[in-house]
Amino acid sequence: MSKSIERVRRAAGEAGLEIEIKRMGESTRTAAEAAQQCGVTVAQIVKSLIFQGKESKNLYLFLVSGANQLDAKKAAALTGEELERADPRHIREVTGFAIGGVAPLGHLEPIGAFADETLAGFDIVWAAAGAHDAVFSAEPRALLAAAGAKLVDIAA
């Protein structure tokens, strides 16, 4: 098992979140791919989007339903600064994950996290587990609590 996947498993356990990580054998990098692999709607997929502060370069995690887009103005208002796409190398250095496998928890360093309030409307959601083909399911509020994410209105 990869170090990244093991880090997700360990972080979930430490947060009291029981998960079963599944290796799907095919890519789950996009919400559509993940939904197809998991047999659920795109809306039940948790997209882990990482942006950085334009001035501070601090990373911020936005957990968004696969059916929604992140509203950049709402996101900037929550962080208190203008945001820009984060460099993939910077993301990997801080989170320990490569793009396409960024999990909501298990980051190498803590980062501010915000979650799309529409995720709370599902019984189960699916999120990346540290690799391009690794996912896990969880009850949304338990997942967001384990990830330290604030439930807010961030959808466009």
Question: Which alpha helices (H) appear in 20-139, and where do they start and end?
Answer: 31-38, 72-79, 88-95
Q: Which amino acid is at 119?
A: L
Higher pLDDT: 24 or 107? It is 107
Q: Which 8-state DSSP code applies to residue 36?
A: H
pTM comes to 0.95
Q: Which amino acid is at 90?
A: H
Alpha-carbon distance of 10 to 43, in angstroms, equals 26
Q: pLDDT per residue over 37-89, tens digit each? A: 899 999 999 999 999 999 999 999 999 999 999 999 999 999 999 999 999 99
Largest CA distance in the chain: 41
The structure tokens listed for 137 are 């399911």
Domains of the chain, CATH where assigned: 3-152 (3.90.960.10)
Alpha-carbon distance of 97 to 53, in angstroms, equals 19
Q: Residues 103-127, buried b or exposed e (16+ Cβ, 10 A)?
A: bbbbbeeebbbbbbbbbeebeebbb
pLDDT at residue 66, as a whole number: 96
The answer to whether residues 126 and 135 touch, using CB atoms and an 8 Å cutoff, is yes
